[in-house]
Structure 1
Amino acid sequence: MNTKDRSIVRDMSLAPEGHLKIDWVNAHMPVLNKIREQFEKEKPFQGLKVAISLHLEAKTAYLAKVVQAGGAEVAICGSNPLSTQDDVCAALVEDGITVFAKYNPDPQEYKDLLVKTLETQPDLLIDDGGDLVSTLHTERQDLLKNVRGGAEETTTGILRLKAMEKQGQLKFPMVAVNDAFCKYLFDNRYGTGQSVWDGINRTTNLVAAGKTVVVNGYGWCGKGVAMRAKGLGSNVVVTEIDAIKAVEAYMDGFTVLPMLEAAKIGDIFVTVTGNRDVIRGEHYEVMKDGAILSNAGHFDVEVNKPELEALSTSVRTVRRNIEEYQLKDGRKIYLLAEGRLVNLAAGDGHPAEIMDMTFALQAMSLKYVNDNYKNIGNKVVNVPYELDEQVARFKLAAMNMGIDSLTEQQKAYLDSWAEH
């Protein structure tokens, strides 16, 4: 059966537009192109099956093609119902990749598509949020036997994997791509920072300057969102549960408040914590009329929608990706993209040049785990530093930039405790 017959996509006639999108990011991902050249020569995945669950848009599609160039038989599904782009899915099918994905499937269909991806019996995985891994370990343990290991994209997914490892439940090694320097320093900070505001601005068509923006969480993603909000002229408030990060936010020039206090003054809210119920009933009770809520964490649990609905007399869509909740006292609160990832559900995600580094790490980490899975053990491991540095060097070369190297005297000085 060919990939077109196996795949489940919405409309194959959309493929030409999808090819254009993939071609565009291809031209702006020089690091991944370098790795593709290596993979085409070495064929590190020859004879293997790879399952991928990521936000299925053009940059992800190109990663899938790079893995395919390494000799793999690739099957892919989306990691979020609202971030899948149907034209990109159709283009991938034409390129010989099996696709199980549609934009905005209902919850059961979304789950079924993920399971279909696993039923291709993969040897290796690339996961985003841990959905492939958790499904394998709970509902489809019959498919575990072939899996050598994989790589995880997100903070949320790594938290889930480490919990599994701690409980002795993880059945194969996973590389924590999210924890690599070239991931969180650039993707989480600059990628999230830019793409979140791309999503908010294009969705609302409102000005950010002068408004009070509340950023919930000051990890690397929160840092990026706060920095970009400040650049847009907003007054930025940060909420945190970590005292060290709170001090850091304060010294970066932001106001730090408990969420209940921030809820009273915020015009726009962005959750970036990886936890649930960050914005909930007690906060809705004190919010301004017209407050705008958005989420940039992986799952749609950071803004508690059931509690917002319970406080509302009506809910209506007032603009694409904007739902208006009218509260019993007449106030209106707006939720963007159903509380899902605003940068992907209401935008195109991170810039191609940023994902160039992240997806280069994914491709190299997948090769690493395939080469070493017998020795790693069933645990979560970091991306080896030499892979991280190699991605950075490829990126510097692509930007026509160079750096210095230590002289022999400098190396000797750093290695000595007696020399002054």
Structure 2
Amino acid sequence: MAVKDYDIRDLDLAEMGRGRIDWAAQEMPVLRQIAERFAREKPLEGVRIAACLHVTTETANLVRALKAGGAQVALCASNPLSTQDDVAASLVVHDEIPVYAIKGEDTKTYYAHLEATLAHEPHFTMDDGCDLVSLIHKERRGLLPNIFGGTEETTTGVIRLRAMAADGVLSYPVIAVNDAQTKHMFDNRYGTGQSTLDAIIRATNVLLAGKTVVVAGYGWCGRGVASRARGMGAHVVVTEVNPLKALEATMDGYVVMPMLEAARIGDIFITVTGNINVLDAQHFAVMKDGAILCNSGHFNVEINIPALETAAREKRVGRPFIEQYTVEGGRSINLLAEGRLVNLAAAEGHPSAVMDMSFANQALSVEYMLKERGRLEVGVHPVPEAIDQEIARLKLEAMGVRIDRLTPEQERYLASWQEGT
């Protein structure tokens, strides 16, 4: 590494990080197969990638795979609280990857790290929340002529990208990795479901059985959180603004009601909407003493923290990752992880087995966009179905699961229209 190619907490954590990265790799067989092929074929030779992702053991395995394919990768954190400092150290020491990420970094440092990553003059961006793409289009437009594509990992980021495209400001094609079926059906549902509850339990040590858990939003993430909370014995209430999703939650057996009603009965509140002020001043005013609030959406705006600060008479740290606010009537409201992604701030994020598929989509999407360079229109593109299907096939193969194949007769029948009743 030539430049001041890292800004991390402590290089001495590298050995611990390498062990944890290797442990995660055992649960990521699809990405491992891709990395082995990349090492043989070098399809990304000479491509510079700027990646703004959660710096976790799973991300480390993605970065290793990209480097095996010949890419030069610079990595920064996509959230100030999600970095695993030992992983960052290992990537710098053992893999010679430029990393700019420190768990708990302030906002100024966070954006300085984005800038440091962009200083590597990428050909390709890999984003988790669209902060990198947004910064390029607002302040680093001189980089645009050399950028041929990007990928986006999150629902929130895809929403921002589509808004940019609608406004006519997006300047290069981006693949919405989040929308791949092997991503949102598994990562968002099973990954967010398990890791969110894991984080709540780690941070609070509360018993979920018998508690009323309010899940705000019934997208793929909300489905996963609600399912896992019910599996732990909680009474689950869902709040929604979309009538179709509210109907689905009702048919799935959950109680559905407006948040103002749910605020009066909830013990634990989990936001997964991607929108602002889902929990607001009027909700804080009627919550029970001891209510626990957390967010598993990408940005820390779903809970109106300034309104909570205004309502508070006192604030103290109850435990690590818990800020306890005393409000009117002496009630306490407990905010986890500063309202940021609780599953990454207070736990370790998604299990490696689901990130295996998400990051396989990332790696293969980079390869695809390089092959299609100059042919893809500016805009937000889906992951090609062939990539989605191949990842599912490889995952099943790694799990030892076999499935049927259509016979020639069945294929002919499905392709025809002549036969009827």
TM over 0.5: yes
Deviation at 1:328, TM superposition (A): 2.9
1:181 is aligned with what amino acid? Answer: Q
Q: Tell me, in whole angstroms, the C-alpha distance in 2 between the residues paired with 1:350 and 1:99.
A: 21
Partner SS for 2:269: strand
Q: Tell me, in whole angstroms, the C-alpha distance in 2 between the residues paired with 1:326 and 1:197.
A: 24
Do 1:211 and 1:267's aligned partners in 2 also have CA atoms closer than 8 Å?
yes
2:382 corresponds to 1:405: no
Q: Tell me, in whole angstroms, the C-alpha distance in 2 between the residues paired with 1:412 and 1:286.
A: 62
1:177-216 paired onto structure 2 within 5 Å: 177-216=177-216
Which whole-Å deviations, capped at 9, do the CAs of 1:282-315 have from their partners, x for residues lacking one?
1001111110000000000000100000000111
Which whole-Å deviations, capped at 9, do the CAs of 1:27-50 have from their partners, x for residues lacking one?
110000010011111111101111
Q: Tell me, in whole angstroms, the C-alpha distance in 2 between the residues paired with 1:410 and 1:9.
A: 57
Q: Tell me, in whole angstroms, the C-alpha distance in 1 between the residues paired with 2:311 and 2:351.
A: 37
Q: Tell me, in whole angstroms, the C-alpha distance in 2 between the residues paired with 1:373 and 1:267.
A: 51
1:77 is aligned with what amino acid? Answer: C
Deviation at 1:139, TM superposition (A): 1.3
Do 1:29 and 1:356's aligned partners in 2 also have CA atoms closer than 8 Å?
yes
1:298 equivalent in structure 2: 298
Q: Which moved more, 1:361-370 or 1:378-387?
A: 361-370
1:165-176 paired onto structure 2 within 5 Å: 165-176=165-176
Which whole-Å deviations, capped at 9, do the CAs of 1:368-413 have from their partners, x for residues lacking one?
1121131111100000000000000000110111111111111111
2:341 equivalent in structure 1: 341
Deviation at 1:246, TM superposition (A): 0.3
Do 1:294 and 1:337's aligned partners in 2 also have CA atoms closer than 8 Å?
yes
1:77 equivalent in structure 2: 76
Q: Tell me, in whole angstroms, the C-alpha distance in 2 between the residues paired with 1:116 and 1:49.
A: 14
1:97 equivalent in structure 2: 97
Partner SS for 1:294: strand
2:355 equivalent in structure 1: 355
Q: Tell me, in whole angstroms, the C-alpha distance in 1 between the residues paired with 2:186 and 2:109.
A: 34
Q: Tell me, in whole angstroms, the C-alpha distance in 1 between the residues paired with 2:240 and 2:177.
A: 24
1:119-130 paired onto structure 2 within 5 Å: 119-130=119-130
5+ residue gaps, structure 1: none
Q: Tell me, in whole angstroms, the C-alpha distance in 2 between the residues paired with 1:17 and 1:219.
A: 36
Q: Tell me, in whole angstroms, the C-alpha distance in 1 between the residues paired with 2:313 and 2:322.
A: 17
2:148 equivalent in structure 1: 148
Q: Tell me, in whole angstroms, the C-alpha distance in 2 between the residues paired with 1:390 and 1:342.
A: 32
Q: Tell me, in whole angstroms, the C-alpha distance in 1 between the residues paired with 2:52 and 2:373.
A: 20
1:388 is aligned with what amino acid? Answer: D
What is the percent sequence identity of the aligned residues? 54
5+ residue gaps, structure 2: none
Deviation at 1:164, TM superposition (A): 0.5
Partner SS for 2:293: strand
Q: Tell me, in whole angstroms, the C-alpha distance in 2 between the residues paired with 1:417 and 1:143.
A: 51
Deviation at 1:191, TM superposition (A): 0.5
Q: Tell me, in whole angstroms, the C-alpha distance in 2 between the residues paired with 1:120 and 1:144.
A: 13
1:13 equivalent in structure 2: 12
1:275-354 paired onto structure 2 within 5 Å: 275-354=275-354
Which whole-Å deviations, capped at 9, do the CAs of 1:147-196 have from their partners, x for residues lacking one?
11111000000000000001110010000000010001100000000000
Deviation at 1:86, TM superposition (A): 1.1
Do 1:119 and 1:143's aligned partners in 2 also have CA atoms closer than 8 Å?
no
2:360 is aligned with what amino acid? Answer: A
1:414 is aligned with what amino acid? Answer: L
2:28 corresponds to 1:23: no
Deviation at 1:2, TM superposition (A): 3.2
Q: Tell me, in whole angstroms, the C-alpha distance in 1 between the residues paired with 2:374 and 2:352.
A: 34
1:61 is aligned with what amino acid? Answer: A
Give the paired residue count: 419
Partner SS for 1:17: helix
1:248 equivalent in structure 2: 248
2:9 corresponds to 1:35: no
TM-score by length of 1: 0.99
1:364 is aligned with what amino acid? Answer: L
Deviation at 1:114, TM superposition (A): 0.8
2:72 corresponds to 1:53: no
Deviation at 1:98, TM superposition (A): 0.6
Partner SS for 2:31: helix
Which whole-Å deviations, capped at 9, do the CAs of 1:224-257 have from their partners, x for residues lacking one?
0000000000100000000000000000000000
1:221 is aligned with what amino acid? Answer: C
Q: Tell me, in whole angstroms, the C-alpha distance in 2 between the residues paired with 1:76 and 1:6.
A: 10
Q: Tell me, in whole angstroms, the C-alpha distance in 1 between the residues paired with 2:5 and 2:225.
A: 40
Which whole-Å deviations, capped at 9, do the CAs of 1:28-87 have from their partners, x for residues lacking one?
100000100111111111011111111101101110110000101110000001100111
Q: CA RMSD in A?
A: 0.9
Q: Which moved more, 1:41-50 or 1:171-180?
A: 41-50
Q: Tell me, in whole angstroms, the C-alpha distance in 2 between the residues paired with 1:417 and 1:159.
A: 38
Do 1:173 and 1:373's aligned partners in 2 also have CA atoms closer than 8 Å?
no
1:226 equivalent in structure 2: 226
Deviation at 1:272, TM superposition (A): 0.2
